[in-house]
A and B are shown apart, each in its own frame.
Chain A
């Protein structure tokens, strides 16, 4: 009479290992268990690895969620989020949570992860001291970073460095204190560690090596860090990243066998056959865990056991490490150094390129690899280590990478490299996706683009380091040529850079020519590629290409910012922030005449008239034009404002005429279209009242010169400028400005501001083009001046005075 009994599985820990086990179990037998999950974080299951990216601002908290609430619902899971399990009763086979739930189980899975080690330092309990383990830690760090400037990180391992870099990106001054003489000593040899430390120092981190932390200073909150040797560093935030220890409290209290972690056998069972454990809380074969790759394996085995497969057995796979800091490539796997005279060490070092590579060989096999600077071959080396491959046929070239090794050994066809990888080779470490899973999804769902593969498998959707491998698999499975990274949009497989190059070399001068010459997939592009192409063509062929207003977003098409109620804002230019009574009177009159509901001073030193209906735009523009006011391009991917301070004309500290220089710069550059918006500022002295150091192009005047600063950004992610050079005259400043703008116009990708562009290219590259190469600089400035001849028409006058685009401003018909 009773329905067949569904066994009850209770999972403690809504983290990476626990939920992966549930996913594997659902894939094997979707209706096998009634599953209840307890998690003491008040969130759905998220990708803990990517906390580093959330801290650094590369991802939002929402983006790293692994399973949404809907997933739990669809699969019939009961989730108690924000409710910690307090006890396990093995007699009654129940667990009891903080909120008072008592839930019976037939099988129990403990996946409580680990706890950060908090060394017993005086002051460790002060506000302002945090670990780096969970979302709430990241939130605490981000909150502090908003109001405080100085941070210290205890621990120079993987976690500590990622925390330090994230905080640096958030604008803090960061010191890293490490007990050892060399960073990440468990994963890197001395030489790679030294390269890493040098690079991070160049990026502005401070290091205290051999530093034994003794006390966290401060009365009511953290104020600094004191070391045993008497050194100290001030800090409003102290991040402790000195290690983790398995979280075994619950398991211990209910009498399970514990060593360093919860002791488990090959089937992930604990000393109680009805209780399993996976993840960082366990110990298997004397080993505990701190990386996700082995956890995926554990999840698989545990799920198989729960589903009734008694043969599944866990062994720890070889492990590899990478550091998730943008632009720094570090990889290591296996042995870091030779263990005996029988081992050999092969080293490749290119100090000019900052590349270092060390391989450890034993009996004709690769047993370890440490790489710095260029890790493109890391996947291949790791595969050789995992498979214990015989490398003697290409030992003399193995350091040079796969292609040359194989060319020499004649034993493989380079093209089929990914074909050689076994199906269970893990490709995406963040999400634990194997080659087989990716290939299967590509086949069954007929995926053809990287983005589709990401959407369906999550492979390469997190940190992106495996992107090229995923693309190679896609190419291999679909038989297509490997697509270039970051295609422009779904209409093409070409990247932004490739499209720009073709526009120049094939002399493509209209969008239609681009579509046909480059085999666009859609007849008239899409909302992503059309604005980009319109810009690229405009930049490549000034005076020739005819701007396509239908390829511009509404603000640029209408030369006004659309507001949330569908009205528009009107911001006239105020050159260098200067105005006068006549202009102010004209603005006041226009606001009154047209019933403008709000007048506001903007953050860009000018005045915004908000709430103008579309059909009134030409009339208000005409009135402003009559007083000599022109469009401020506050809406465009274009030159926005040039902020200035009062400067030497009035200020007692001013060293140069910053206002006058700002006006000159704005007169030279207004109207130009750029890949993204472009803002400038001129400050009269290093007090920097015009905030020049967070502008795309900023000038800080000094006695006898002008410091030229580039690549700053005050927006979503603040970036302070890099110094390009010091100029001695206004003329020189003007030339640098024109040349920098043109280089950015010609080489950045559409919608890439100068800050990420300079970061991507490196300030050294910009200096090489603009400072070291005077002729090149002049040529760039010349091309900018040429382009400006065609772009300095006031768009408001074109419309209000000359009637351009008249259809935009009136209805087609009124139907009664």
Chain B
């Protein structure tokens, strides 16, 4: 099946913070929650493309820095009453290392 690429360590991402990964299809934002969950979303808010990586993370949501939409990290969906969805991507965390699937499976711009 698909191969995996190592992109860094869990501790490279601040708790309740995020880091960016550049991909041929654009930026991905990797978030780390306070219970060390790691989630990857395309770094574009479904509202007007704000950089979600700069948002405030709490629980399993990130609040977009531009106009305050709340995006669910697990599904990439905006929470009601806002509507919209940001593509997400699987991340593997193993022994404190982070892996993304390689080749062709990156989400494309919606």
Residues of chain A whose beta carbon lies under 8 Å from any beta carbon of chain B: 522-527, 530-531, 550-551, 553-554, 557-558, 562, 564, 566, 807, 811-816
B103 to chain A, nearest CB (A): 10
19 A-B pairs within 8 Å (CB atoms) are namely A526-B58, A526-B59, A527-B63, A554-B54, A554-B65, A557-B54, A562-B65, A566-B51, A807-B19, A811-B21, A811-B22, A811-B27, A812-B13, A812-B19, A812-B20, A812-B21, A815-B5, A815-B7, A815-B22
Give the one of A526, A531, A551 with max B CB within 10 A.
A526
CB neighbors of A among B38-64 (8 A): 48-51, 54-59, 63
B63 — which chain A residues lie within 8 A by C-beta? 527
B27 — which chain A residues lie within 8 A by C-beta? 811
* Minimal Cβ-Cβ distance residue in A for B27: A811
- A815 and B34 in contact, given A522-B59, A524-B59 (Cβ under 8 angstroms): no
Contact with A along B1-21 (1 / 0, CB 8 A): 000010110001111110111
For the complex with contacts A527-B68, A564-B66, A815-B5, 19 further pairs of A-B residues with Cβ separation under 8 Å are A522-B58, A523-B34, A524-B16, A524-B58, A530-B58, A550-B15, A550-B57, A551-B56, A554-B65, A557-B54, A562-B54, A562-B66, A566-B49, A807-B14, A811-B19, A811-B20, A812-B20, A813-B21, A815-B23
CA distance A608 to B44 in the complex (A): 26
A554 — which chain B residues lie within 8 A by C-beta? 54-55, 65
A813 — which chain B residues lie within 8 A by C-beta? 7-8, 21-22
Is B104 part of the binding interface, using a Cβ–Cβ cutoff of 8 Å?
no
CA distance A385 to B8 in the complex (A): 73
A525 — which chain B residues lie within 8 A by C-beta? 58
* Minimal Cβ-Cβ distance residue in B for A526: B58
**Docked-complex contact A527 and B58, CB < 8 angstroms:** yes
Is B30 part of the binding interface, using a Cβ–Cβ cutoff of 8 Å?
yes
B87 to chain A, nearest CB (A): 16
Is B24 part of the binding interface, using a Cβ–Cβ cutoff of 8 Å?
yes
Is B100 part of the binding interface, using a Cβ–Cβ cutoff of 8 Å?
yes
**Docked-complex contact A812 and B58, CB < 8 angstroms:** no
**Docked-complex contact B24 and A815, CB < 8 angstroms:** yes
A531 to chain B, nearest CB (A): 8
CA distance A175 to B27 in the complex (A): 59
* Minimal Cβ-Cβ distance residue in B for A805: B14
B74 to chain A, nearest CB (A): 16
CA distance A551 to B23 in the complex (A): 28
> Which among B21, B55, B58 is the interface contact of A814 at CB below 8 angstroms?
B21
- A812 and B59 in contact, given A550-B17, A807-B19 (Cβ under 8 angstroms): no
CA distance A525 to B16 in the complex (A): 11
CA distance A137 to B65 in the complex (A): 37
B23 to chain A, nearest CB (A): 5
- Give the tally of cross-chain contacts (CB within 8 A): 76
CB neighbors of A among B53-94 (8 A): 54-59, 63, 65-66, 68, 70
B102 — which chain A residues lie within 8 A by C-beta? 815
3 interchain residue pairs of minimum CB distance: A812-B19, A813-B7, A527-B63
* Minimal Cβ-Cβ distance residue in B for A558: B54
B57 to chain A, nearest CB (A): 7
B100 — which chain A residues lie within 8 A by C-beta? 815
> Which among A527, A812, A815, A816 is the interface contact of B12 at CB below 8 angstroms?
A812
- A807 and B34 in contact, given A527-B63, A816-B24 (Cβ under 8 angstroms): no
Give the one of A531, A551, A566 with max B CB within 10 A.
A566
A564 — which chain B residues lie within 8 A by C-beta? 48, 66
A557 — which chain B residues lie within 8 A by C-beta? 54
CA distance A807 to B9 in the complex (A): 13
* Minimal Cβ-Cβ distance residue in A for B23: A815
B107 to chain A, nearest CB (A): 13
- A807 and B12 in contact, given A525-B58, A553-B65 (Cβ under 8 angstroms): yes
A586 to chain B, nearest CB (A): 28
CA distance A531 to B65 in the complex (A): 13
CA distance A554 to B49 in the complex (A): 15
CA distance A522 to B34 in the complex (A): 11
**Docked-complex contact A812 and B30, CB < 8 angstroms:** yes
A534 to chain B, nearest CB (A): 11
CA distance A566 to B70 in the complex (A): 18
**Docked-complex contact A812 and B8, CB < 8 angstroms:** yes
A553 — which chain B residues lie within 8 A by C-beta? 56, 65
A522 — which chain B residues lie within 8 A by C-beta? 58-59
- A815 and B21 in contact, given A530-B58, A807-B14 (Cβ under 8 angstroms): yes
B35 to chain A, nearest CB (A): 8
CA distance A33 to B101 in the complex (A): 58
CA distance A814 to B48 in the complex (A): 24
CA distance A557 to B56 in the complex (A): 10
B92 to chain A, nearest CB (A): 14
B7 — which chain A residues lie within 8 A by C-beta? 812-813, 815
